[in-house]
Amino acid sequence: QKPATVPTRPGSIHNSPPLPSDPTRTEMARPPAAAADLKRKRKRRRRPKAGKGAAADLPDFFSNLPDDVVLAIANRLPTRLAVTLSVLARRFRHLPTLYSHLDSVRFSGPASPVPLPASQPKLLRRLDIAPPKRIKPSALRHVINAAANHGLSELAVRLHRRVCLPKNVFAIRSLAVLSLNTCSVPPLSAVACARLRTLKLHRVFIKQVVLTAILSAATGLRTLEMFHCTGLDAGCTVESLTVRSFLFMPNVEQREVTLRAPGLRTITLHTRPKTQKVHLEPSPDVSKVYLHVAKSQEKVLFRMRPFLDAATGLASLTLR
């Protein structure tokens, strides 16, 4: 038999009859029960209003404390946490003005405030100075003087290459930690940092005369670090009776290195290909030694045997 045809009129478009519905398609189109459960709206957990819940039954002991007790608690916290306490309530807004000490202050531009006014007897532990190029080093003197009047103990200065450091940095009597990075140390007339315990010089231009003056004045120096310091191409001599830890990585043009530290306990020393002489005075108390001797272009005079023979308590020795 011929298949039945649908009669059409001339000039009309023939449309095929719709296909019978497939029961399997309808079943596949239906979402499974698991998908239906995921599409259900989740009920939001509403926070309990003030005056409701178990927390509302407990009394607020902290808000009822007197100001002197709250101030004593805040003075034992780091500055960043203590300042955030003033945001909790209006009652604590005046607390930052009553703190007896500040943990750290950063000065990075002209918009930065002077760390501490001279009228308030606060103590400042650390001051970080990293100004942009447009600020002259002379503008940092009043900042350093203001911090020195409040018992500054740690100072970190990062300037641009060959920019002279203010001279009043080495006149801070309460300074214990000094970190200089990418700057130049000018000739000093007087050094008054007798309490200095840690000195870090990273990419600093410094003359041998200035370095000797600093080491002579710092009678309590314990840690000395020198990374790629310039101005010591002819030779670097470190002489100190109190240095316990010494880390030295010379500049490319470094020729000679001399170390006289009888109380030394830890030493890390690197040399350069142009280094010609390394002289280490005996240190009986040294316990950890790390020496990295680069392949030299010339004959190197490196007498290490007397230094190691005197180290009776040597516990770790690394030679590279």
Give the residue from 172, 211, 209 showing the smallest Cα distance to 194. Answer: 172
Q: What is the pLDDT of residues 248-302, one digit of tens each?
A: 998 888 888 899 999 999 999 998 888 888 888 888 999 999 998 887 766 666 7
| pTM score of the predicted model | 0.68
Domain positions in the chain are: 222-320
Least confident of 53-57, 189-193, 229-233: 53-57
Confidence band of 85 (pLDDT split at 50, 70, 90): confident
What is the rounded CA–CA span in Å between residue 278 and residue 248?
A: 12
Average pLDDT across the chain, whole number: 77
Q: Mean per-residue pLDDT for 6-32?
A: 50
Q: What is the pLDDT of residues 204-234, one digit of tens each?
A: 999 999 999 999 999 999 999 999 998 887 8
Give the residue from 286, 283, 302 showing the smallest Cα distance to 294. Answer: 302
